[in-house]
Amino acid sequence: MSVKNGLLTLPEDGDLLRIPGFCPDGIPAGEGCPIIRTLLHEWPLSRVELAAFPELPGTPRRIVKTQLALASAEGDFYRFAGPLFREIRGDLRIPELLGRESAGDSEWLILSHEPGEKEDWSGLSPDGIRARVRRIGEVLQMPILKEAPVFTDWSALERFAADLCADVPALLSGGMKNPERIPDWAAGNGGICWESPCGLLHGDLKADNLLTSEGGTVLLDWQRPMRAPLPLEAELSVLLERGLPEPGSPAPADRPFAALACFSLSHWYAWAWRTCLPWPFVLGQAVKYAEAGLAMIME
């Protein structure tokens, strides 16, 4: 595993075969084992490849996923929640964690894979997106998932304020004015967000991360699960799916949670900039979303 220009390069086939859980039963863990690899997704914090064994019909395929930062909760989440999802009635599932290994500041995850098509939310209104997210969220609030590992715990406004206070120096260095107003807002008018119940959120719930298969819906990409006020998931999903509203467009129906969704994305980019991606673009994204959230609460 190495990093070039901030992007991951995956381990060689021989490295993969040495990761516990990668080789199906009956396949020798040797350098000559045939593997076909197809890139599925890449962005600076992760890269996903599908690894298949073409000469062994019926052999389960594996998704090879690498992460740039070990702080992601994804590996721990799959290890904890995977077995539990198999016990939950219904058609919502997550991939099975087959193997994992750390390498420096990175981690390799070997996940199960099944054929399917990504969901299409292009025809959904914002209210339609919120309704879809609420249906998924009902499963995530089941008591057996209460102790699932998370990337961010915003179950109390004090924890949210502490996280955002840690981001203030980065936002200031990015040219933002008055980012300290964000945690101040949380302790004041933003407190209405924490009057809602808190629970487990996916944190990156959008159509691209939902796979429709014969057995139902597979929910992918658990890099940043969070414990936070439940309405945040819906507003964050609308933001991820549609982008920021155009200037002058109607105000979001639930302004506090829309602002909180902007601050959530700002926190994610600021964390990435501080820890593993010190690029001007990444810091710029943190500032952009923080400023958008502040604009909502200052209007």
Tens of pLDDT, residue by residue over 231-269, are 999 999 999 999 998 877 777 777 899 999 999 999 999
**CB contact set of 218 (below 8 Å; sequence gap of 6+):** 93, 94, 95, 114, 116, 210, 211
CATH 3.30.200.20 residue ranges in the chain?
2-112
pLDDT at res. 299: 62
Architecture of domain 2-112: 2-Layer Sandwich (3.30)
Q: What is the pTM of this model?
A: 0.92
Pick the CATH number of 117-298 from 3.10.20, 1.10.287, 1.10.10, 3.90.1200: 3.90.1200
pLDDT at res. 7: 53
pLDDT at res. 5: 46
Task: Report d(CA 263, CA 269) in Å as an integer.
Answer: 10
CATH 3.90.1200 residue ranges in the chain?
117-298
Spell out, as residue ranges, where the chain has pLDDT lower than 50: 1-2, 4-6
pLDDT at res. 36: 87
